[in-house]
Amino acid sequence: MPKLRVLSGRDVVRIFSHFAFTTISQRGSHVKLQRILTDGTRQTLTIPTHYELDRGTLKAIYRQAQRYVAEGELRPHFCGE
């Protein structure tokens, strides 16, 4: 896996908005994103809205998002060259 960029929680929320995820709730510093597919399947991600996300947290979000979005589509947003 290439080196991950330094991203804030708001940056990550903005990235997932490009993939049709919308904010459904927020509790404290965590935002819950969700998209509903045409067959009714709900896909949910929880993102901490910290100023700068730790590398491990960002890596976990990236891995979790790969269940819903192809890696080739995610990589340009998360990885630096």
What is the radius of gyration, based on Cα positions, of the chain? 12
Q: Residue 51 has what pLDDT?
A: 94
pLDDT in tens, 2-57: 788 999 999 999 999 999 999 999 999 999 999 999 998 999 999 999 999 999 99
What distance in Å separates the CA atoms of residue 74 and residue 39, rounded to the nearest whole number? 23
Do residues 78 and 6 make contact, with C-beta atoms less than 8 angstroms apart?
A: no
The structural domains of the chain, ordered by start, are 9-73 (3.30.920)
pTM of the model: 0.88
